[in-house]
Structure 1
């Protein structure tokens, strides 16, 4: 293998998205969560547990805990922002960084924080509700977009950033004020072409 091929191979390996999957988690030794949205699964390693969290389809997995002695994994729909934390021996709590952040990078495509009002102070409509506005984007039509509760999101990759349908019948949607993350890099996702969210298809 020539020098150029070796360099190309090294660059491909080091490009974003090919690092350690645990880099997208924050871990806390000896911590556990009190939550009802959970599933216990067998796992031989922390990496296997992380993979099970990523593959979970019953709920959005925001964290997992790995029990080293019992070699099992508990995937959870909550994190330390939404559930009480307990001290527990022989457990490591792993929380997805993206769900702990209350800031955005770029246009906020991957923002998963809990801001739930527009820049004008109007409460956001829950994504699953059909009143006062029938949404084009909903948890069932776009299950991978984090459309939970009434949190601001950017499911259509809008250049203006995260937005939500409003509870004001006269205003279909509005943008949210989400601060920029300073020096904090979040995992990248493939970009999609923007699509209009103001009209019902």
Structure 2
């Protein structure tokens, strides 16, 4: 082995300028960071423009939808107003002409009464005609669920009867109707007029 190949222990390694290398590295890193920051700024600006464009599109679509909904609301409101007016008219007509069918059913009875008033003859014939007219009228009442309250001999019922007087009667029990001064009437089970009666009180 030659002396040139041998490295003495006391031989030092060549010195390297560390400060220069560090400065160059920092400069390179600074340039790279500046470039990346510029690119990020450009991307951010581009993204902002896209976001603004998207927001404008959404705003226009929302305004269009709002206008469509407003038009639908106005049409619906007008339709509801018309429907309310039609309903009020129907209710008004129902109240005004509720008794039309009943009146139509009574007209033959009126005709019969007029014919009876114009008839000539004895009293029996007139009574017979009145009896027929009465049956005709009772038929109309039955057709419209009008029932007579005639409680003669029944127990007094304050829901259907109105006591006009009280008298003793040994042949009848207490609280029994002994006389009907005026008949009562019900319409489909609802009291229209109570029967005026005289009640037994022994």
Return the TM-score normalized by structure 1: 0.26
- Larger Rg computed on CA atoms: 2
Higher strand share: 1
